[in-house]
Amino acid sequence: MRRTDRQVNDPVKIREIIEACHCCRLGFNDNGKVYIVPLNFGYEETENKKYLYFHGALQGRKVELIKREGQAGFEMDTGYKLNAAKEACGYAAAFQSIIGAGNVCMLEETEEKIHALRCIMSHNIGKSDWEFPLEAVKKTAVFRLEITELSCKEHK
């Protein structure tokens, strides 16, 4: 990162920023074109892995790309605040953002899907002990991105 003074390395702070984000944009390579799709998400950290979870329809462009490419980039941000100034060049924006990439795959096992859906609910609603009807789980695509690259930037 060119502006190293804005780089965030503290894992606790990075987790807080992820927790404050509600939209994660996944970016795919679609035969040389870029496809970016905004999604709600859930987040999980284990001892040495970081996962993003997503859900949606069983069909569609992103699902095709997940199955075909197995990789995606991602971006999420929060805390945007415009700092006004007298001169145009004096304007600046505060933000906190995360950019990364990882391996993405569809989850097929019911238990894995329910775990992911609970992570998504926990991230967005703050409560994870939801029940999901099995018929609904079957009809829902649930996918997981294992984070392999992550950087975090904060502009105050």
Q: What are the residues binding ligand FAD (CB under 6 A)?
A: 23, 37-40, 55-57, 60-62
- Shortest distance, CB of residue 37 to ligand FAD, whole angstroms? 5
Q: Which two tokens stand for residue 11?
A: 């894992």
Distance in Å, CB of 22 to ligand FAD, minimum: 7
Minimum CB distance to ligand FAD, residue 54 (Å): 6
Judged by beta carbon, residue 40 or residue 150, the one nearer ligand FAD is: 40
Q: Which residue, 56 or 79, has its beta carbon nearer to ligand FAD? A: 56
Give the C-alpha separation, 21 to 9, whole Å.
Answer: 17
Whichever of 48 and 59 has its CB closer to ligand FAD, that residue is: 59
| 71 in Cβ contact with 112 (< 8 Å) | no
| Alpha-carbon distances of 68 from 64, 78, 140, rounded to whole Å | 6, 30, 19
Task: Taking the CA atoms of 35, 104, 61 and 128 in sequence, report the sign of the dihedral they define.
Answer: negative
CB of 15 to ligand FAD, least distance (A): 20
- Using alpha carbons, select from 9, 33, 28 the residue that is nearest to residue 98: 9
Q: In whole angstroms, how large is the CA radius of gyration of the chain?
A: 17
For ligand FAD, which is the closer residue by CB, 27 or 56?
Answer: 56
Q: What sign does the dihedral 83-84-87-89 (CA atoms) show?
A: positive
Residue nearest to ligand FAD (CB): 60
**13 or 139: whose CB is closer to ligand FAD?**
139
Smallest gap from Cβ 135 to ligand FAD, in A, equals 18
